[in-house]
Amino acid sequence: MQPQVQLPVQTGELSITQNRVLRNTYLLLSLTMIPTVIGALIGMQMDFGFMRSSPIISFIAILAVFYGMVFAIEKNRDSGLGVVLLLAFTFMLGFLLAPLLQAALGLRNGGQIIAMAAAGTGAAFFGMAGVATVTRRDFSFLNKFLMVGVIVAMVAIVANVFLQMPVLSLTISAVVILLSAMIILYTVSGIIHGGETNYVSATLSLYISIYNIFSSLVQLLMAFTGDRD
């Protein structure tokens, strides 16, 4: 009789925990947009000539800082420092988004491209999060596929830093959008099913996915609809 009494209590506690993690994740994710916008606005006033003249060195430096920050955030994810580091991380990525925004706004329809990319990013996020929430299906089976996909995409990105092939760049952008959308689905599903219990880690994963979708959409829209006249 004792297990029968305890089971509903444990299930109820788990549900409360899942709801709290999901709520805190969405709240923190909303908050990360503020330093991102501030970083982008500051960055758009800067000259990124060094990055354009030395793309390989810049890429290596950005990659080192990126993974260093991710490691620091994950290491401190159970403390307030993890939140502070996450917000600093989003400021940095907003700053690094500036060269792409500058290029987009250099086009006659640059504002429209950025707006379309933002709308597409929002649709992708809410669509994937909605699927995970409404269906309640466990998408943990995507784990290995996503790991392989991310590794392949990363290898292609590094290769294209040296090859500088426009077609490969556009292909990578399309693949990154697909992978990022699936990571959103996987992450939200993980929270719902109790696989992800830390909202800082969940926010980090969702933020990077949203960032990648937006930047990739901007690049694709610039390539196919950009008005340079």
- Residue 3, pLDDT > 60, answer no
Q: Residues of the chain with pLDDT > 90: what percent?
A: 78
Angular region, 194: left φ>0, alpha ψ -120 to 50, beta rest: left
**pLDDT (0 to 100) of residue 14:** 53
Residue 141 to residues 144, 185, 186, 201, Cα–Cα distance (Å): 7, 11, 9, 19
pTM: 0.91
**pLDDT (0 to 100) of residue 229:** 62
Rounded distance between C-alpha atoms, residue 39 and residue 92, angstroms: 6
* Residue 79, burial from CB neighbour count under 10 angstroms (0-12, 13-18, 19+): exposed
Q: pLDDT per residue over 10-32, tens digit each?
A: 444 457 888 899 999 999 999 99
Residue 105 contacts residue 201 (beta carbons within 8 Å)? no
Q: pLDDT per residue over 157-213, tens digit each?
A: 999 988 889 999 999 999 999 999 999 999 999 999 988 999 999 999 999 999 999
**pLDDT (0 to 100) of residue 49:** 77
- Residue 2, pLDDT > 70, answer no
Sequence spans of domains, the chain: 2-225
Q: pLDDT per residue over 68-125, tens digit each?
A: 999 999 999 999 999 999 999 999 999 999 999 999 999 999 999 999 999 999 999 9
**pLDDT (0 to 100) of residue 12:** 47
Rounded distance between C-alpha atoms, residue 210 and residue 16, angstroms: 26
* Residue 10, burial from CB neighbour count under 10 angstroms (0-12, 13-18, 19+): exposed
Rounded distance between C-alpha atoms, residue 221 and residue 101, angstroms: 12
Q: pLDDT per residue over 121-157, tens digit each?
A: 999 999 999 999 998 899 999 999 999 999 999 999 9
